[in-house]
Structure 1
Amino acid sequence: MIRCHRIDVIALIETHILGEKAQKICDRLRLGASDRVEAQGFKGGIWLVWNPDEIDVRVRHKNTHFISAAVSKGDFQFQLIVTYAPPTVHRRRKFWAALSNEIGCCRGPVLVGGDFNCIVGLEERQGGSGVLHPDSSKFRELISNNGLIDMGFAGQSFTWSRGLTPSTLISKRLDRFLMNLEVCIKWPNASVRHLPKFGSDHTPLLLSLEPKCRYDKSRRPFRFEIAWLTHPDFLEFIHQNWKRDCPANIALAALKDKLLDWNRKCFGNIHEKKTLLLAELDKTQMEIKKGPTSELIAREEQ
């Protein structure tokens, strides 16, 4: 995902991991810098991971339920607040007040995003009792009182789901991005996309402040694919095609072209296959939203 979307900053929420193990996972993302709120036992946890070569991130304040940071890149900057709202109503009462206070301390463009564990209307829910909890009014007040605007989304409607059968399936839009008017003016083309979910009951959200130029595949550097090592004929292929009588740089250049041709024949385009699988997953999850069936739920799991 990081490669596909050229991501500068990642927020991971409700990680349930802490300490050395958490740091190792942050390091494996290979962006270069991170800060986090540790999980409490196996509950909560917020991580912020970013590429210091592309952006500057200065964490201003953090607690159990949000990280607030100043983000800058070149001549633009904004305040980012990543949230993980408490899952229970009585604990969210204090959270709304604390978050509102933090937003009030920010100046300039402000983005607030994450898991709010709350919806604002019945249209953001499918399945369950169909009753809107009074806590939703507190969420609407937070948005209104702080002059925030829901950034909307492209993609499937819901960001969280639970249940393995049509009768038990519940889906909600618990995750979102909110912005103030200054963000809207400065980045009028900013967008949020709900990506297909996998490995979690929450959907990843992709925020783009500025449209990216279309990537020129012809300029992509050659990369060794770990998947090649799983092929039973790979080592024999290397043995047969390595030019032992040439300097290493010339031998590598010659091998590169043969590897690319071999990859097309034996593996095909792995990244294209992954893109197609994610598109199929997204389509299945959209169909579940329209009307869940046992077949659709089984297809999503597959």
Structure 2
Amino acid sequence: MDWDYFLVPAKGLSGGIIVLWKKNMASFKVLESSSQFVVGKLEVLNKGKWKIATLYGSRDTYKRRCLWERLEYHVSKEVPMIVGGDFNCLLSREEKKGGREFVYSLGTKEMKSFITCNDLHEVESIGPMFTWCNNKKGVERILEKLDMCLLNSADMNLSQRMVVRHLARITSDHSPILLNLLVQQDM
């Protein structure tokens, strides 16, 4: 009863996005949503205001291109913004272990371009490096880092330090990621 949420339902066994917030601590107003993202304004009591984009990026490069285009519309240099979730895209060979060798693909190029052009920066993470596993054993096992959080420069300039914790995989092939606001740093 203390929580509120916004849900984009899953299609079959994959997809779906849920944004949760504690009603007595925060408010969230959805600005736009699709099967790949939810963008909204989050206000946390005595902490500040952010624009938040929660992602479930398509595995298809061309469908994911629509994600980058819509998110670009919402990114602002003046408003602190957090973009996080399952990007379904690798940025480097270090983000993959097992399976076919990493290839610098069109999807990688477009995601890097989106990050650079919108002045986004990855949040420091703790916990297991890889956030996805194909749940196989031995030589068939594949591990990848598909989930992360990005901040714009306006957010990085705030006096709060953020960190992402990669939690243990329990029932999913993905590790949940948790964004923590830490104590304020001295200015």
For normalisation by structure 1, the TM-score amounts to 0.57
The residue number in structure 2 matching 1:62 is 33
Aligned alpha-carbon RMSD (Å): 1.9
User: How many residue pairs were aligned?
Assistant: 182
| Structure richer in helix, relative to its length | 1
- What is the TM-score with the length of structure 2 in the denominator? 0.89
Please name the residue that 1:141 is paired with: 113
| 1:213-262 C-alpha deviation (Å, 9 max, x unpaired) | xxxxxxxxxxxxxxxxxxxxxxxxxxxxxxxxxxxxxxxxxxxxxxxxxx
**How far off its partner does 1:204 sit?**
1.2
CA contact (8 A) 1:187 1:209 kept: no
Contact kept? 2:134, 2:142, Cα under 8 Å? yes
Greater fraction strand? 2
| 1:121 aligns to 2:121 (yes or no) | no
Shift of 1:58: 1.1
- The residue aligned with 1:93 is 65
CA distance in 2, matches of 1:36, 1:163: 26
Counterpart Cα distance in 1 of 2:74 and 2:49: 17
Q: Deviation at 1:103?
A: 2.1
How many angstroms apart in 1 are the aligned matches of 2:146 and 2:159?
A: 24
Identical-pair percentage: 27
Does 1:210 pair with 2:177?
no
- 1:144 Cα offset (Å): 0.2
Residue 132 (structure 1) shift: 2.0
The residue that corresponds to 1:80 in the other structure is: 52
Alpha-carbon distance between aligned partners in 1 of 2:142 and 2:159, rounded to the nearest angstrom: 34
CA contact (8 A) 2:96 2:102 kept: no
Contact 2:43 2:49 in 1 (8 A): yes
Structure 1 pair 142–45 and aligned structure 2 pair: CA distance change class (3 A): same
Change (3 A) 1:74 1:163: closer
* CA distance in structure 2 between the aligned counterparts of 1:31 and 1:119, rounded to whole angstroms: 36
Q: Deviations over 1:113-147 (max 9, x none)?
A: 00000011000110111122411111111100000
Pair 1:201-2:180 in alignment:
no
Mapped contact 2:37–2:67 kept (Cα < 8 A): no
The one-letter amino acid of 2:113's match is E
The answer as to whether partners of 1:187 and 1:210 remain within 8 angstroms in 2 is no
Question: What are the Cα deviations for residues 87-129 of structure 1, in whole angstroms up to 9, with x where unaligned?
Answer: 122322222222222325x851000000000011000110111
Q: Is contact 2:160–2:183 with CA below 8 Å preserved after alignment?
A: no
Secondary structure of the corresponding residue to residue 114 of structure 1: strand
**Are the aligned partners of 2:92 and 2:104 in contact in 1 as well (CA < 8 Å)?**
no
| Rounded Cα–Cα distance in structure 1 between residues aligned with 2:67 and 2:104 | 16
Secondary structure of the 1:53 match is coil
